[in-house]
Amino acid sequence: FNTQQQEKIHDEFIDKGLERVGYKILDKAERDVFDGSPLSARFSEGWGLVSEHSPMTGIRLVKKVFAGHIYKSICDYVTEVKADMVFIGRTGRHHVEGIDLGSVTENVLRYAPCNVFITQKEQNKGWQI
């Protein structure tokens, strides 16, 4: 292989494949919250917003997969769109028992220019795709 071939393979298969996996994870999370499931009902009891998720209410869900240093990409994007709040999981897919916060969550909490809501889903330490 030469360097150009390796870069092309990396871009076409690895980066794009990981991006597709990322969007599948986000789609699953969206279904968990907005599909009327028991989880969705519990979430809406606390926030009262889930059932109002629509363009008419001004509540907008943005799903985005980032590359690079994830916490920095999230903070840069939040700054760019002037977001009021970031919702993020306490830990990522590689949950380790006893860990308080994952590194991405910790750094988003530290550097985000807006409020950060950290959530935890006890029964699910990661999603099957």
Q: How many structural domains is the chain composed of?
A: 2
* Same domain (yes/no): 29, 15: yes
* Same domain (yes/no): 54, 1: yes
User: Is the model's pTM score more than 0.75?
Assistant: no
* Same domain (yes/no): 52, 73: no
Determine which helix (DSSP H) or strand (DSSP E) holds 119, and give its type and residue range.
strand 115-119
Determine which helix (DSSP H) or strand (DSSP E) holds 94, and give its type and residue range.
none
Position 52 scores a pLDDT of: 52
State mean pLDDT over 99-122: 88
2 is in which domain, residue-wise? Answer: 1-61
d(CA 90, CA 55): 28
Over the stretch 28-81, which tens digit does the pLDDT of each residue have? 877 766 665 555 555 555 444 444 555 555 666 677 888 778 899 999 999 999
The percentage of the chain sitting over the pLDDT mark of 90, rounded to a whole number, equals 18
* Same domain (yes/no): 76, 25: no
